Structure 1
Amino acid sequence: MRVFTRRAHASHAVGRRAGAVALLLSTLLAASACAPDSSSAGGSGASVPSAHTPSAEPAPAPTASPRSRVQEIVTQMDLAQQASAVVMGNTPGADPVAMRAMMSRGFGGFILMGSNVPATPGDLHAMSEALTIDPALPPLIATDEEGGDVVRLPWDDQPGADVLKAQPAGATRAAFARRGMLLAQSGVTVNFGVVADVASSPDSFIYDRSFGTDPAAAAERVDAAVRGEASWVSTTLKHFPGHGAAEGDSHHMIPSTGMDLETWRSEVAPPFLAGIRAGAPIVMMGHLAYTAVDAQPASLSPRWHQILRDDLGFRGVIVTDDLDMLVDSGDPAYADEVSDAVQAVVAGSDLVLALDGAGPDTAQKIADGLVAAVRSGALPADRLREAASRVVALRLDIADRRH
C-alpha cells in the first residue's frame, strides 16, 4: 500500500467476533455441519419448572444460516457484480457525492486515504454512511491506521509499533483497543493496521513500523493488537509472507530474499500465525518475492496463498497490497494492473486493492478485466465466486456487528 508518513497529533469480544466470521466462512467453504446439543440436569437441589404454561406466542421466523445468506446474495449477483464485489477502490477528495457515486457501482470496499478524511470523527462517520448503499450489506470502509508514522486520522493519538515494541504486550492491546474504538466511532470498519513483519535489523525499511526483530516478542504483540481491535473493527495482518526478510521498499521495487521455507517458518511466520490464531479476519499479501519458494511476488503466487491457507490455517479474506505498487516496480511483467489483478485472484486473493492515483475508472477497469478473464477462461468462474463469497461473508459480519 502506498504510505505517506506523518506523525499523529498530539473488551473481550474477540472470541465472539472471530467465531462469527469463522462460522460464516467455514460453513460456506468447508461445508461442515453440526447439530446443537441439548442436556438436562436433575436432582433434589434443581429448580422445578412452573406447571403453569404461558400463553403461546408466535414462533420467530427461522433465521437463515450464515452459509445460506452468503450463497443467496452471491447467487443473485451476475458476473459483473461478483467482479465488482472483489475490488476495493478509492477516489481522491472528500466529496461524499462523488464517493457515493463510485460505490453505487457495487465495489466491495473503499479505502480512505489522507485526502478523504475530513476534520472531525463525526464528519468522517457521516461520509462513511454516505458510502453505504445497502445497510444490510455495507461495503468495507478501510484505512491503514498503524499509529506512529502511518496514520490517516489526526485524532488518533495512540502509539504505534515504534513505541510499543519496547513496552509490555498489554500496552499494545490497550493502544489498539483505543485505536479500534476511534476507528469505529469514525465509521471505519476495516483497519489495514497490524504490521506482522519481523524486521531483519534496526536498519530495515520496515523496522519502525514493525514490532521488532524478535519473532516471539513480535508475535506476542501482534496477538495483543488483534485482540485489542477485535471488538471494534476487522483487523488486517500485513505484509504476508513478511517484509522484514525481503529488504527494500516495495513501493518502488519488488523486494526479494532467498530465504528457504523452513527458515521462514521459524523466523518470519510466528507473528502471522499468532494473529491468525487470535482471530484476525483479513491478511494482506505483500509484493515480495521469496525466490526459494516462488520467483513471483507473493501477491501473485498460488504457492504462498496455499501456504497461508493450508499451513497457517487462515480462512478469512486475503487482500492484495496496492496493485499500483507492482506497476511502479519497473518490472515490465507487472506493468498492467488489470493483468496483475487477474493473476492475484487466480492465485487465491479475494479482494484486490486499487489505490495510488486511483479513481472510480481505475476500479471499474479492474472489475471489467476480471469479467473478461472469466469469459476467456483465464480466471475460473468458481474462483471468482469463492472470492466474492468470502468478501460478502465479512460484509455481513460487519452488518451484524452494527446491530
Structure 2
Amino acid sequence: MPQSYVSPTHGSVGTMAAMRFPALLAALALALTACTPGAGSDADARAGDAASSETAGTVGPGADQPDRIGRVADFRELAADLVAQLDDAALAGAVVVGSYDGTDPELGAAMVRDHQLAGAIVMAYNLPEAPTPEDVRAVTRTLADSGADRGWRVFLGVDQEGGPVSRLSTAALDLPPLMAHGAADDAALTTSVTQAQGADLRALGFTADFAPVADVTIGAGDPAINVRSAGADPELVARTVEGAVAGYTDAGLASSAKHFPGHGALAADSHETLPVSDSSIADMADRDLVPFAAAVEADVPMIMMGHIGLPGAETTPATLNPEAYSELRDRLDYDGVVVTDALNMGAVTTRAAGAETVEAIRAGADLALLPPDAGASVTALQEALDSGELPRERLVEAAERVVAMQLWQEDASGLAVTVDDAAHRVSSFAEESLTVLAGECSFPEPVEEIALSGADAEDVAVFTAAAESAGLQIDPDAGLSVGIDGGSSDVLIATDGPWRAAGTGADTVLVTYDDYAAGFAAVARYLRGEAEAGGSLPVDVAGARPPGCD
C-alpha cells in the first residue's frame, strides 16, 4: 500500500546489460505460440489508443480462462536461462521496483534504464490532476520502452484496489473497495468485475496490480485496512480474494494478495509506525492466513509481505524478517513472487541508503517495492553480493521468480479476456453490494424526487448526476430528504463504511462503501423502486439492525 515516497537518485550504477538473448527469445516465441500480440506490441498500442475504460470483446465470468492461462511456475526454466546471463548490476536491478518524482515519465524511464530495475510503480503524483486514459498510457509506454534491451517486459505496477486506494483517479474504471465485494458475497460476480478492472488496467499499460487485499478486518478499530478488506469472516474474505485473483488472471494481469501475515487486526497504521501483532503466524492460521491460503490455491502470482512486527521480533517488520518468509513458503507452500510493502513507509526505520533492500532480499523477498532510493538499493545489493553478505543463490532465486512472472504476464495478456460490458458489470455489482443497515431491502414508498444534502460538494455533484441519469430528480423542496455521510435526513447514504452510520436515527441507512457513481446510481434506482439492495453486512456493527438482503 505505497503512499509517500522519497525521490530516488538517477546516477548510473553499472554497465547496462544490452543483451537481446536471441536464442532464448526464440524459445520464448515458441512458448507463446498461442498468444495474440501482447501489451507491448503495435496491435496492443493501437487498441489501447482506441480504448476507453472499457476494452473490446466479451466473455463471461471465468470462462475457462484458468485452463487456457498457464502458471508462473511454467516459466521458471526459461527465466533461469535468462537470469544466468545477467551481470551483477543487472541481477541486482532485477529485484527492485522504483518510483520517481513528478509527472515526467522520462525521469522514470531513466531510473529504470540506468539502474536496470525490474520496473516502476506509477503513483498519483506521476499523473496530472484528473488524468485521462491517454495520460496514463503515455506514462506506461515511456516506462515500458526503458527495458527494450531485455528479454522480458518491464514490471509496471499500480496500487489500484478501488475505493480509497485508487491511484489512477479519473483514468481508470471507478470501483469500490473490497468490502463491497464482501457485501455481495458472490465470487463469480467478483471475478466478473475484477476481469473488467484487470482488462482496463492492462489496456492502460500495466502488468500488475497490487491487489486484492487479503486481510481480515476487525472493523472500526483497524485504521489501515478497514473497508479495503472484504470483511470480518475469514471464509468470506477467502472466497472474495479467490474470485478477485481469478478475475485478474483472466484479464492477463499479475495480482498481489496483501498484506501477509495479516494487517486487519492491528490498531496501528504501518504507513506511520510499525504495528506489532500479539499473535504469532502459527496463531493466525485459522483467521488471518485463510485468505492467503485461498490466494495460493488460486495461483496468485505475488503475495505482498506486510510491515508487521511479530512476537519475538517486535521491532523488525515482517518484510525484513526471515521467519515471516519461511512461514509463507513452508506453511502455505508458496513458490511465487513475494514482494515487500513499500520500503519507504514509516514502519521501516531509517537505515543507510539501500540497506533496507538488502535486508529484505536476504530475508526472503523477491521484489523490493519502492525503496527510498532505488539507485542506492541496486548499489547496496551489488556490494552485499561482492562481500558475501548476500548469497548469490538468494539473489538469483529472487530474480528468476520475478522474470518468470513477467514472462507469464506477457503470455497471459495474449490469452486474456476482453470486456465490452464493464459499465453493465459494475452497475449490476453496485446493486448486489448495496447494503441496508436500517430499513428494508426494497424501498417501501418509491419516489421520483429527493432533497439532497452532503458535506462534500463533489459527492453531491456525483450523486446528482448519477441520480438524474437514473430518472431521480433533485429538488430541495422534495418530501424525502437524503443525506450523504451525515446530517439529519430520512435516508442516509454511508460511503466510508457502516460504522459511523449505525444508530443515526435515519429511517433508511444504505451503505455503498465508496462514493462511486455506479453505487450512487444503484441508490437512485433503489429509491425509485426499480432495484433491491442485494448486499449483506460483512462486518459486525454495534446498534445495526440490517434486514439481511441476500
Whether the aligned pair in 1 keeps the contact of 2:261 and 2:281 (CA below 8 Å) is no
Whether the aligned pair in 1 keeps the contact of 2:155 and 2:208 (CA below 8 Å) is yes
Whether the aligned pair in 1 keeps the contact of 2:71 and 2:299 (CA below 8 Å) is no
**Counterpart among 220, 230, 254 of residue 234 in structure 1:** 254
Whether the aligned pair in 2 keeps the contact of 1:219 and 1:270 (CA below 8 Å) is yes
Aligned-pair distance for 1:130? 1.9
Give the Cα–Cα distance (whole angstroms) in 1 for the partners of residues 113 and 281 of structure 2.
43
**Counterpart among 123, 129, 146 of residue 161 in structure 2:** 146
Distance 1:12 1:93, change over 3 A: farther
Structure 1 portions without partners, runs of 5+: 26-66
Whether the aligned pair in 1 keeps the contact of 2:185 and 2:236 (CA below 8 Å) is no
Give the Cα–Cα distance (whole angstroms) in 2 for the partners of residues 273 and 97 of structure 1.
40
Aligned-pair distance for 1:200? 2.2
Partner of 2:3: 3
Aligned-pair distance for 1:129? 2.2
Query: Residue type of the partner of 2:157?
Result: A
Alignment of 1:111-150 (within 5 A): 111-117=121-127, 119-132=131-144, 133-134=147-148, 136-150=151-165
Aligned-pair distance for 1:196? 0.3
Whether the aligned pair in 2 keeps the contact of 1:131 and 1:139 (CA below 8 Å) is yes
Give the Cα–Cα distance (whole angstroms) in 1 for the partners of residues 189 and 166 of structure 2.
18
Whether the aligned pair in 1 keeps the contact of 2:162 and 2:175 (CA below 8 Å) is yes
Aligned-pair distance for 1:256? 0.5
Matched-pair identity in %: 35
3-state SS of 1:157 partner: coil
Partner of 2:113: 104
Give the Cα–Cα distance (whole angstroms) in 2 for the partners of residues 95 and 112 of structure 1.
11
Aligned-pair distance for 1:295? 5.8
Query: Residue type of the partner of 1:239?
Result: H
Give the Cα–Cα distance (whole angstroms) in 2 for the partners of residues 79 and 166 of structure 1.
49
3-state SS of 1:146 partner: strand
3-state SS of 1:218 partner: helix
Alignment of 1:42-121 (within 5 A): 67=77, 69-105=78-114, 106-117=116-127, 119-121=131-133
**Counterpart among 179, 182, 189 of residue 197 in structure 2:** 179
Give the Cα–Cα distance (whole angstroms) in 2 for the partners of residues 338 and 97 of structure 1.
23
**Alpha-carbon deviations, 1:330-372, whole Å to 9, x = none?**
84xx5335221111111110110125xx5xxx21110000011
Aligned-pair distance for 1:76? 1.3
Partner of 2:210: 192
Q: Is residue 270 from structure 1 mapped to residue 293 from structure 2 by the alignment?
A: no
Aligned-pair distance for 1:297? 1.6
Give the Cα–Cα distance (whole angstroms) in 1 for the partners of residues 219 and 104 of structure 2.
42
Query: Residue type of the partner of 1:311?
Result: R
Whether the aligned pair in 1 keeps the contact of 2:69 and 2:250 (CA below 8 Å) is no
**Counterpart among 134, 158, 165 of residue 182 in structure 2:** 165
**Counterpart among 222, 225, 239 of residue 241 in structure 2:** 222
Aligned-pair distance for 1:92? 2.1
**Counterpart among 325, 336, 342 of residue 358 in structure 2:** 342
Give the Cα–Cα distance (whole angstroms) in 2 for the partners of residues 301 and 71 of structure 1.
26
Instruction: Provide the aligned C-alpha RMSD in A.
Output: 2.2
Q: Which moved more, 1:88-97 or 1:219-228?
A: 88-97
Distance 1:18 1:274, change over 3 A: farther
**Alpha-carbon deviations, 1:282-338, whole Å to 9, x = none?**
01111101215776321111111111111101111111111111xx3484xx53352
**Alpha-carbon deviations, 1:35-82, whole Å to 9, x = none?**
xxxxxxxxxxxxxxxxxxxxxxxxxxxxxxxx1x22221111111110
Partner of 2:457: none
Give the Cα–Cα distance (whole angstroms) in 2 for the partners of residues 97 and 293 of structure 1.
41
**Counterpart among 215, 232, 255 of residue 213 in structure 1:** 232
**Counterpart among 369, 376, 388 of residue 353 in structure 1:** 369
Give the Cα–Cα distance (whole angstroms) in 2 for the partners of residues 282 and 398 of structure 1.
12
3-state SS of 1:239 partner: strand
Structure 2 portions without partners, runs of 5+: 5-52, 54-61, 415-550
Distance 1:363 1:16, change over 3 A: farther
Whether the aligned pair in 1 keeps the contact of 2:276 and 2:314 (CA below 8 Å) is no
3-state SS of 2:165 partner: coil
More helix by share: 1
**Counterpart among 263, 267, 271 of residue 247 in structure 1:** 267
**Alpha-carbon deviations, 1:143-171, whole Å to 9, x = none?**
01110111012232122213222112233
TM-score (norm 1): 0.81
Whether the aligned pair in 1 keeps the contact of 2:307 and 2:348 (CA below 8 Å) is no
3-state SS of 1:198 partner: coil
Whether the aligned pair in 2 keeps the contact of 1:305 and 1:347 (CA below 8 Å) is yes
Give the Cα–Cα distance (whole angstroms) in 2 for the partners of residues 82 and 12 of structure 1.
38
Q: Which moved more, 1:93-102 or 1:208-217?
A: 93-102
Distance 1:295 1:363, change over 3 A: closer
Q: Which structure has the larger Rg?
A: 2
Distance 1:262 1:351, change over 3 A: closer
**Counterpart among 375, 383, 389 of residue 394 in structure 2:** 383
Whether the aligned pair in 2 keeps the contact of 1:283 and 1:318 (CA below 8 Å) is yes
Query: Residue type of the partner of 1:86?
Result: V
Query: Residue type of the partner of 2:213?
Result: V
Q: Which moved more, 1:79-88 or 1:147-156?
A: 147-156
Partner of 1:314: 334
Partner of 1:369: 380
Partner of 2:41: none
**Alpha-carbon deviations, 1:75-134, whole Å to 9, x = none?**
111111100110000112232322222221210011000022352223322321221222
Distance 1:343 1:139, change over 3 A: same
Aligned-pair distance for 1:14? 4.9
Give the Cα–Cα distance (whole angstroms) in 1 for the partners of residues 291 and 92 of structure 2.
32
Whether the aligned pair in 2 keeps the contact of 1:17 and 1:230 (CA below 8 Å) is no
Give the Cα–Cα distance (whole angstroms) in 2 for the partners of residues 250 and 18 of structure 1.
35
3-state SS of 1:264 partner: coil
Number of aligned positions between the proteins: 347
Give the Cα–Cα distance (whole angstroms) in 2 for the partners of residues 110 and 175 of structure 1.
26
Give the Cα–Cα distance (whole angstroms) in 2 for the partners of residues 74 and 267 of structure 1.
38
Q: Is residue 21 from structure 1 mapped to residue 72 from structure 2 by the alignment?
A: yes
Partner of 1:46: none
